[in-house]
Homo-oligomer: A and B are copies of this chain.
Amino acid sequence: MARISFESDYIQGCHEKILEALVKTNMEMLSGYGDDCYCHSAKEKIREAIGQHDSEVFFLSGGTQTNQIVIDTMLDSSEGVISANTGHINCHEAGAIEYTGRKILSLPQYLGKIDINDLKSLVIGFENDKNNAHMVAPRLLYISHPTEYGTLYSLEELSEISDFCHAHGIGLYLDGARLGYGLASYSTDVTIKDVARLCDAFYIGGTKVGALIGEAVVFKKDSLPKAFFTKIKQHGALLAKGRLLGIQFDTLFTDDLYFKISRHAIEMAELLKKVFIKHGFELYMDSPTNQIFVILDNSVYDILLEKVGFCYWEPFDADRTVVRFATSWATSENDINTLDEILGNL
């Protein structure tokens, strides 16, 4: 039997309803490049779900691609994007943002989140600097929600950030690679309608939340970049068979599937935490979403890795390491039970 794994939330294919839809529609003759009935239907369902009927929705393939295209096209070349220094765009996207000519203006991070006071200080410092024509202007704020550490902004924090940004001519862009898991957390007061209301652009992650591939980017009506469709093509990101993305999101946004499977992952994560605590493991932090960070003795690390997949995160101290266990839409109670056994037999 194959080893079970909690290595990430993208180790399995897609939700069975998506597979069914792909099978069912397979031989239909549809126009290419996203101009098909499933893309249209999916966009309409997303607009309904987020409560913004005049927003613009596009489907892309992955998170880095989405971040790159959105940030590149929302900014002029004289403008930069603000991000926590642990932001995915600043660390693990191989310089994709700079590759398109945009500068990242980094802020300190607190478990992956920015603090509004640091943001104010950067922006007001720029505004007051007499030499700021020699500098990249801060004109977009990138936040991830959940963050790379699985943490969440509260509605109050998000509102305050949004207000500050808009008062200073700064767009707010939210990376929702794991948005479903954030919205389904037991400890959030943020809804998808809040996200859509407060952000100028955001994306609803599909790849990590039930889809084979795909992210749905949403722009406020007035925030749609010029010639965005052409720029998707220019970035090499336009799929000939756009249906692949449309069919998936149409399924995810039918009967609240996206939200239900996200909630399931959160329930599994809560069970996971309990299992670790039961076996005396220390959690690195109290994660509110689907990523659980555990402090492992280095002596146990390799032994455990042989039995179950997980992800190296960072050193904790000389003798211990932080590792990540992720649940997803596909995690079963059976998986948790198997882990329980493995931990019991260590």
Contacts and interface: CB of A to CB of B under 8 A. Distances in A.
A11 interface: yes
B135 A92 contact: yes
Given A4-B29, A29-B2, A103-B95, A64 B19 contact: no
Interface string A92-106: 111110111111101
B227 A78 contact: yes
Contact of A61 (B5, B31, B226, B239): B239
Interface string A149-165: 00000000000000000
Given A12-B28, A26-B19, A240-B62, A95 B69 contact: no
A133 B94 CA distance: 8
Given A76-B226, A236-B235, A94 B11 contact: no
A130 B137 CA distance: 34
A117 interface: no
Interface stretch (A206-214, A274-282, A284-292, A294-302): A206-214
B26 A13 contact: yes
A68 B22 contact: no
Contacts of A101: 95, 98-101
A130 B324 CA distance: 14
A10 interface: yes
A23 interface: yes
B28 A137 contact: no
Contacts of A137: 227, 230
Contacts of A76: 226-227
Given A93-B134, A229-B133, A212 B234 contact: no
Given A26-B14, A77-B99, A95-B136, A239 B227 contact: no
A316 interface: no
A135 B91 contact: yes
Contact of A234 (B3, B94, B231, B233): B94
Contacts of A345: none
A62 B96 contact: no
B233 A236 contact: no
A237 interface: yes
Given A98-B101, A99-B235, A230-B133, A11 B26 contact: no
Contacts of A14: 26
A234 B44 CA distance: 32
A239 B226 contact: no
A270 interface: no
Contacts of A68: 236
Nearest to A79: B227
Contacts of A5: 29
Nearest to A16: B26
Contacts of A93: 134, 233-234, 236
18 contacts: A7-B29, A8-B32, A12-B26, A64-B238, A78-B227, A78-B230, A78-B234, A79-B227, A80-B98, A94-B135, A96-B234, A99-B101, A101-B101, A134-B230, A135-B230, A212-B241, A213-B244, A236-B237
Interface of A: 2-5, 7-8, 10-14, 16, 19, 22-23, 25-32, 61-69, 72-73, 76-80, 91-96, 98-104, 106, 130-131, 133-137, 207-208, 212-213, 226-227, 229-231, 233-241, 243-244, 309, 312, 330
